[in-house]
Amino acid sequence: AALEGVVEYRNVTFAYPGAESPVLSNISFTARPGETVAIIGSTGAGKTSLLSLLPRLYDIAEGEVLLDGVPVSDLDRAEITKRVAMVPQRPYLFSGTIEHNLRFGKTEATDQELWDALQIAQGEDFVRAKKNGLNARIAQGGTNVSGGQRQRLCIARALVTRPKVYLFDDSFSALDVATDARLRAALKRTTADATVIIVAQRITTITDADQILVLDNGRIVDRGTHEELLETSPTYQEIVES
């Protein structure tokens, strides 16, 4: 099959509707299948805004966001979500069973596929520990599961859709370091052929990324691998030391 899941941002400038100044300026990068691109930067730098442009949560005024060479503005959201799964910064669970929450967006998945996704997302144990397993009920907004459990269920939900592109917006922040490391190792095996774009606060989550983009005030100020940035980027050094 042809390469699928190539993401390219080309000179993207973006302002929220009604806002006076752009939150993203002249953003360009490419993420290819098999690669992990990490985005790091202080709060308000524009990381979430940057991710949200691929699934077309907003349309851009300048530049282009391309998925497999096609501007996303020419694709409808349903076509994009077949190929792109985003785990949002505030992952949402709705009132229903764990199974309902995991199948969201892909009803034909088998129970085995749900368990496989839970295993990768490090959520298998706590679901098995529940009396009703996959049929255990989740309260509206996921208030009866912990923040880390909610993140893991939302990661499992993304895995169930078998996307070509994964967008993780700070998806590992509520996990302890050991669980984070196990999850990412499992994820790496599963997503070996996928394109992964990951926003993270914790440096250890991104040190092995193929490319790290340092975002500051809506601009990519530096880019490279962890080792390269340690040498060349004062902004990155500040983040590492903080």
Report if residue 145 touches ligand M5T, rule: CB under 6 A: no
CB of 166 to ligand M5T, least distance (A): 17
Pick from 54, 32, 26, 51: which is nearest to 40 by CA? 51
Angle, helix 147-160 to helix 177-190, in steps of 10 degrees: 0
Stretch that binds ligand M5T, among 27-35, 38-46, 144-152, 178-186 (CB under 6 A): 38-46
Report if residue 16 touches ligand M5T, rule: CB under 6 A: yes
Looking at 8, 10, 23, 222, which residue binds ligand M5T (CB under 6 A)? 23
Q: What does the per-residue mask of binding to ligand M5T show for 88-127, with x meaning CB under 6 A? A: -x--------------------------------------
In the sheet with 219-224, reading across from the earlier edge strand, the strands are 84-87, 165-169, 195-199, 36-40, 211-216, 219-224
Looking at 5, 36, 47, 109, which residue binds ligand M5T (CB under 6 A)? 47
Beta carbon nearer to Mg ion, 87 or 134: 87
Report if residue 191 touches ligand M5T, rule: CB under 6 A: no
CB of 47 to ligand M5T, least distance (A): 3
Query: 144: Cβ–Cβ under 8 A, 6 or more apart, which residues?
Result: 137, 138
Residue 52 near residue 30, CB atoms below 8 Å: no
Task: Tell me which residues touch Mg ion (CB under 5 A).
Answer: 47-48, 89
Beta carbon nearer to Mg ion, 56 or 103: 56
Beta carbon nearer to Mg ion, 47 or 150: 47
User: Under the rule (CB under 6 A), what is the footprint of ligand M5T?
Assistant: 16, 23, 41, 43-49, 89
